[in-house]
A and B are shown apart, each in its own frame.
Chain A
Amino acid sequence: NAGVTQTPKFRVLKTGQSMTLLCAQDMNHEYMYWYRQDPGMGLRLIHYSVGEGTTAKGEVPDGYNVSRLKKQNFLLGLESAAPSQTSVYFCASSHGKREVDEQFFGPGTRLTVL
């Protein structure tokens, strides 16, 4: 049981480049989330999904897109990276069977945009 995995672990981009972050979970969870974590700030929700084929905007969705084509995978895309997107990105998942559930987090992706 790998839990929640993220690839890549580290990435350096130049301004304007694009990339996709991959999140996978093997716990058969319905809900998946993408967060960013910046120094001195709490985790901020970018996008989330309540099931295969669904996505919704979180607190800071601008500049990001997501897709949930398969239940176990949740992809986060940056179409044109900006230095303000330098951050640590965490994916998380939860059962979705109750209104409030513990979230399980992946190890994070450290992204630097130059």
Chain B
Amino acid sequence: GQNIDQPTEMTATEGAIVQINCTYQTSGFNGLFWYQQHAGEAPTFLSYNVLDGLEEKGRFSSFLSRSKGYSYLLLKELQMKDSASYLCAVVDSNYQLIWGAGTKLIIKP
């Protein structure tokens, strides 16, 4: 079967750094997405990785290791507005998105 695992909830302090992990087992792999979803709102695109390595985009970075079936999203200089759920999604061999349940990130002052 296909499986995406993320921690259910994480807490971090404003100004700090947090790493949200995602491990996956899917039938084929054509890339991995990270989306941000504020409570009661729509998911919005953060990043897409298809090759191994780290991609940096401002305060957010995303890492992928295809051999380990592992990705992480790194958020630096945390702000209160970063409180949200972070969704990991893998593109399988049929080019369908398989979604994780999301990680709820709570930022404390």
Instruction: Please tell me if the beta carbons of A100 and B43 are within 8 angstroms of each other in the complex.
Output: no
> Chain A residues with Cβ under 8 A from B70's Cβ?
none
Contact with B along A82-114 (1 / 0, CB 8 A): 000000001000000001101111111000000
Q: Which residues of B contact A44 (CB under 8 A)?
A: 99
Interface of B, helix, strand, loop or mixed by DSSP: loop
Give complex CA distance A76, B98 in Å.
21
Choose among A42, A104, A108 the residue that contacts B99 (Cβ–Cβ < 8 A).
A42
**A108 contact set on B, CB distance < 8 A:** 40-42
B45 touches which one: A41, A99, A103 (CB < 8 A)? A103
Chain A interface secondary structure, helix, strand, loop or mixed? loop
CB within 8 Å of A: which B38-79 residues: 40-45, 48, 50
In the complex, how many residues of chain A place their beta carbon closer than 8 angstroms to a beta carbon of chain B? 18
30 A-B pairs with CB atoms under 8 Å apart are A40-B8, A42-B89, A42-B99, A42-B100, A42-B101, A42-B102, A43-B43, A43-B99, A44-B99, A45-B96, A45-B97, A90-B43, A99-B30, A99-B95, A100-B30, A100-B31, A100-B48, A100-B91, A100-B95, A102-B33, A102-B45, A103-B97, A105-B42, A105-B43, A105-B44, A107-B41, A107-B42, A108-B40, A108-B41, A108-B42
Report B's interface with A, CB cutoff 8 A: 4, 8, 30-31, 33, 40-45, 48, 50, 87, 89, 91, 95-102
